[in-house]
Structure 1
Amino acid sequence: MYKTYASPIPITINFDATVSSFGGVGTSFFMNFFEKYIRLNCSHNVDSIKHTDTPPLTHKLKFKAIYIYGDPIEAVVSIFMRKYHGLHSQYMLCNYPKIQPILKNETLESYLDLGEDKFKMEAHFHKWFDTSRHYPILFLKYEKIWDFLPEIFDFLEIEQKHIKDFPPRRKRNSSLNQLSENTIDRLNNMYGKFAKELETKPPFLIHQPTIKQYPLTLFQLPLSLIQHRHMIHPQLTFSTFFPKIYSSLKSFQKHE
C-alpha cells in the first residue's frame, strides 16, 4: 500500500540521533531541548531530515532515531494556526511531484474544501513504521511524552538528572473548540480513520534493528551537493539525482 523506498536521505554528518515527524506534534520543542545534550539533525529542517518520509540512512553503528506522532487532526489544525501550512506541505509532498502544495494564503476551511490530503500524514507514518534500518527507532506519541521521560532519556543515553529541566506539559494551541462543527466533521472525514488507527499504537515503542549496516559507499556523496540540488529542484528526489546509488540501496535492502 505504501512505497517503502521513498528516497531515503543519506546522513554524512556525525549525528548521535535524528528526530522526525509528520509535523504539528511538538517536534521543534522536543529537539530544542535534547540538542543541548546530543548531536541532532536541524530543528529548522535545513538538512531535510526533520520531516523526511523514510528513516535516514547512515553508516554509523551507534545511531538512533525518534519518530514523533500524534493526533493528525490536532496536528493539521496546529500547522494552520501557526500559518506554516504552505511550507510544510512542500516538505511533505517532496515525493509527490504531481500534487500542488497548499497555497500560503489558504485557510483551513478552503483547504478542506479541496477534499485532498496534501500532507500525506498517513503514508508518512507508515513509511517509517513499516521500514527497517540497522539502528533502533523509537516511535513516540506526542501526547504521552511526559509519561515516558525516564525511558526517553535512557534511549538517548542522557543522564536522568536532566529530566527536571524538561519543559512542563502545556495545553495545545490547536484547540478544536475554536472550530465550527462543520470544520470538525470535514477534518474527521479526511483524517478520522488515521486518527483511530494511531490510537491503537503503543505510545512508546522501540523498533529494534532487523537488517545489517549499510555499505559505506552509499554515503560518500557530499551532503552539501545533495542539499544544493534539492534546493534548486525541491520536487526532485535523491533517486532522481543519483539513480545508480538509489538502485543499489534498493537491491541491498531487498536481499536482507
Structure 2
Amino acid sequence: MIKNTLKRALVGLTLVIGGVGVAAAALPGPQQAYLPGLNGYTQIAPHIYTDEPAQSEVLISTLAQAQARVRAFYQEDLPPVRMLLCTTPRCKARSLGAGPVKGRTYNSTLVIVGPKGLNPMILSHELSHVVLHGKEGPMGLWWGVFPAWFDEGLASLVSQDDRLDAGDVAARARMLETRRFSDWGAAVQALGWRGAYGAAMALVEEMVAVDGVEGLRALIDRVSAGADFDAERAALLAQVEPG
C-alpha cells in the first residue's frame, strides 16, 4: 500500500514537473531554445536550431563565415554552443524580446540571434563572447574577471564591426568605468550604442597596438588562469614609451 502510494506520488510529481517545464517553454524567453520541438524550432546542424529550416543552407553558410572569423582571431576551435537563429520577428520577439537587440549570448552555452543579426558580423560578435566566457567560466563571468567594456570591445574587434565611433578621450574614460554588465546599459545610454561599443573597441585596439593580437591572446590566457586583468593591462600599456 505504502509502495503504491509512493509510486503514485512520484508519478504525480513527475507530471507536475513536466507540466511546469512545458508551461515555461511556452512563455517568451531564452528558455524556448532548450525545448525546440515544443516551440516549432528545427535542428539544422549539431546544436543549431531555427524557425525556418528551408533557409538552412544559407544560415549554415553564414554561420560558417562567422565561425571562421572567430577561429582566426583566437587561433583555437570554438566550444560547442546551442544557437537559435530566428528568421522572423515573431521568433525573435518570443525568444529575445521586442527591443532592438540583434543577438544575445547567455554565459557560454546559448546564443540567440534575431533576423537582423543573421550576418557574419553579428554572429561572430556573439561567438566571441562564447569563447571569452568559456575561458573565464561561469563564476569568472559573474565576478567580472574581464570587465564588460573589454568583453564587448573585444567582440566588436573580432567581428570587424565598421559601424562604430571610437569617440574621444572622455568617452574612453567613461567606458573604463563600465566594469559589470549591469553597468553597460547606462554606458550605452550616455554614449549611444555606436559610441559605447566604439569606445570599448578603441580601448582594446590600444592594447593590440602595443603587443599585437598574439600578445592580446596571451593576456587573455593569463587572466583566465588567475592573473588580474587591470594589472596585466597596466603592464602592457606601460611598454609604450611616452613622447
Instruction: Give the TM-score category using the shorter length.
Output: under 0.3
TM score, norm. by length of structure 1: 0.25
TM score, norm. by length of structure 2: 0.26
Question: Larger relative CO (CA 8 A, sep 6+): 1 or 2?
Answer: 1
Structure number with higher helix proportion? 2
Larger Rg: 2
